[in-house]
């Protein structure tokens, strides 16, 4: 039975990655099945993490926020997962009572972190506060009056941290920070913070030109060599990358050009993409750089599938550049005017035109766990069900392996 998970980043007050919430799908039609109840879904979720996906590759030494239903908590399903990797989310549909409280106390005694998901404020939950570590507030659905009441009621419990969900703008982020929230979930960090005109630095432009040259079907290896040789830092990172355990080779490298030839066009493009994303992502959340790499790899592997008939190189470039506006806090249209890109690529990035535009739309649907839209787009692209989930998991693994070289 197929099993996939999307993940949504949770950042701290410094916009550093704190954890991921894992969002699951279990159905060959890529839509959560109506005939499977929440209890069965939770048990399959835990089973899937054990035997299919594994937590380590998904969470990169962070924690995973995972939803649990009433019965799964009573039956202590969380104990099937390691207490140092899991935050137990008590679903908003769970009704508080003595049995639930006993189950939560047992989990706390076993070292688990407890979060109340999409918290709806009722006095009865005060009994759970001594054992609660995080309260998640739906920013879109909760009134400011209720938020203030929650803040007042948790004052006797200073260990409780507040997490704001569905934060979509930096204004909302700043308001939540001012109210004392510690953690933030939403896509505010992947959108431009303040739209402004920002120049692309010479080093950034060099990497951009390298990336564009490498997106050609037959890049000019001499031109690429010259650019890298003029930059000591770039040369060092290239040599380090070429000798990485990622590649099971023992070739002794004698020149920069030799290193380029050893890597080959495809892996060289990936190396430059890692540096590109990191260079443009200075002073931005590291997760944004990681998302750029994931998107690039996802689009590349999708284009390589039988019947797609799209350039892998162009697909990779589109995925990599798709968050450029957020990385530089500037309108995408203005940024693309400064880069020597083909107009067709610019139209994909601005308007999501054509098949490559559908690739981006599909990926964003996976990121948001919009499984209904994922299913529709898979059908439109003549993909078999579950393809997007498989490619997404592969892209996560690929990006994780290359982060240390940025």
pLDDT digits (tens, 9 = 90+) for 333-381: 888 887 778 888 999 999 999 999 999 999 999 998 888 899 999 999 9
Which residues on neighbouring strands pair with residue 65, listed in sequence order? 21, 87
**pLDDT score of 39:** 53
**pLDDT score of 36:** 41
DSSP state of 275: H
Residue 76: closest CA among 109, 51, 52: 109
SS3 content of the chain, % helix, strand, coil (to 5): 55, 10, 35
Residue 343 tokens, joined: 């107009």
3 state SS of 21: strand
CA distance 237 to 70: 51
**pLDDT score of 42:** 54
CA distance 324 to 331: 9
**pLDDT score of 54:** 57
Residue 208 tokens, joined: 């951009």
**pLDDT score of 34:** 43
Residue 24: closest CA among 389, 399, 403, 402: 389
Contact criterion met (CB below 8 Å) for 129 and 157 = yes
**pLDDT score of 252:** 73
Residue 73 tokens, joined: 């908590």
CA distance 298 to 388: 8
CA distance 77 to 68: 8
Residue pLDDT tens, the chain, 406 long:
445 667 889 999 999 999 988 875 443 333 333 444 455 555 555 655 554 455 666 777 888 898 888 888 998 888 888 898 899 999 888 888 999 999 999 999 999 999 999 898 888 999 999 999 999 999 999 999 999 999 999 999 999 999 999 999 889 999 999 999 999 999 888 877 755 555 566 677 777 778 778 777 778 888 888 878 777 777 877 887 777 776 666 567 778 888 888 888 878 887 888 777 777 766 678 888 889 889 999 999 999 999 999 988 889 889 988 998 888 888 888 888 877 788 889 999 999 999 999 999 999 999 988 888 999 999 999 999 889 988 998 998 888 876 655 5
Taking phi over 0 as left and psi of -120 to 50 as alpha, with beta for the rest, 186 belongs to left
**First-to-last CA distance in the chain?**
36
The structural domains of the chain, ordered by start, are: 4-190 (3.20.20.450), 202-405 (1.10.3210.10)
Q: How many CA atoms lie less than 13 Å away from 60 in the CB half-sphere?
A: 20
**pLDDT score of 195:** 53
Which residues on neighbouring strands pair with residue 24, listed in sequence order? 5
**pLDDT score of 278:** 72
Is beta strand 4-12 parallel, antiparallel or unpaired with respect to 183-185? Answer: antiparallel
Contact criterion met (CB below 8 Å) for 32 and 52 = no
What pTM value is reported for the model?
0.79
Helix ranges (H only) for 8-81 are 38-51, 56-59, 70-74
Contact criterion met (CB below 8 Å) for 292 and 322 = yes
CA distance 88 to 116: 8
Question: What is the CB neighbour count within 10 angstroms for residue 245?
Answer: 6
């Amino acid at each position: 039975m197929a099993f996939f998970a999307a993940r949504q980043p949770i950042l701290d007050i410094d916009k550093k990655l704190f954890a991921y919430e894992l969002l699951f799908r279990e159905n060959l039609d890529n839509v959560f099945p109506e005939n499977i109840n929440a209890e069965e879904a939770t048990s399959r979720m835990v089973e899937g993490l054990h035997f299919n996906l594994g937590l380590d590759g998904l969470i990169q030494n962070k924690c995973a926020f995972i939803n649990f239903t009433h019965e799964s908590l009573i039956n202590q399903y969380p104990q099937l997962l390691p207490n140092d990797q899991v935050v137990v989310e008590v679903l908003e549909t769970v009704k508080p009572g003595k049995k639930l409280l006993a189950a939560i106390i047992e989990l706390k005694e076993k070292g688990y972190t407890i979060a109340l998901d999409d918290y709806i404020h009722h006095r009865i939950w005060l009994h759970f506060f001594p054992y609660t570590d995080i309260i998640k507030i739906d920013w879109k659905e909760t009134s400011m009056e209720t938020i203030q009441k929650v803040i007042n009621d948790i004052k006797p419990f200073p260990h409780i941290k507040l997490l704001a969900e569905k934060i979509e703008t930096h204004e909302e982020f700043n308001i939540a920070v001012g109210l004392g929230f510690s953690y933030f979930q939403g896509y505010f960090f992947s959108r431009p913070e303040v739209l402004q005109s920002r120049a692309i630095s010479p080093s950034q432009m060099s990497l951009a030109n390298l990336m564009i040259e490498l997106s050609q079907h037959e890049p000019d290896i001499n031109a690429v060599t010259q650019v890298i040789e003029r930059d000591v830092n770039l040369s060092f990172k290239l040599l380090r990358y070429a000798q990485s355990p990622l590649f099971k080779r023992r070739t002794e490298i004698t020149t920069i050009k030799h290193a380029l030839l050893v890597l080959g066009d495809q892996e060289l493009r990936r190396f430059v993409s890692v540096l590109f994303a990191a260079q443009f992502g200075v002073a931005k959340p590291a997760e944004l750089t990681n998302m750029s790499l994931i998107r690039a790899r996802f689009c590349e592997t999708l284009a390589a599938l039988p019947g797609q008939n799209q350039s892998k190189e162009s697909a990779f470039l589109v995925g990599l550049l798709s968050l450029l506006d957020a990385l530089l806090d500037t309108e995408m249209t203005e940024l693309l005017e400064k880069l020597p890109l083909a107009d067709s690529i610019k139209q994909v990035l601005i308007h999501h035109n054509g098949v490559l535009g559908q690739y981006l739309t599909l990926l964003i649907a996976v990121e948001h766990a919009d499984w209904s839209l994922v299913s529709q787009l898979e059908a439109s692209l003549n993909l078999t069900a579950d393809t997007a989930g498989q490619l997404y998991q592969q892209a996560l693994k690929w990006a994780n392996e290359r982060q240390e070289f940025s």
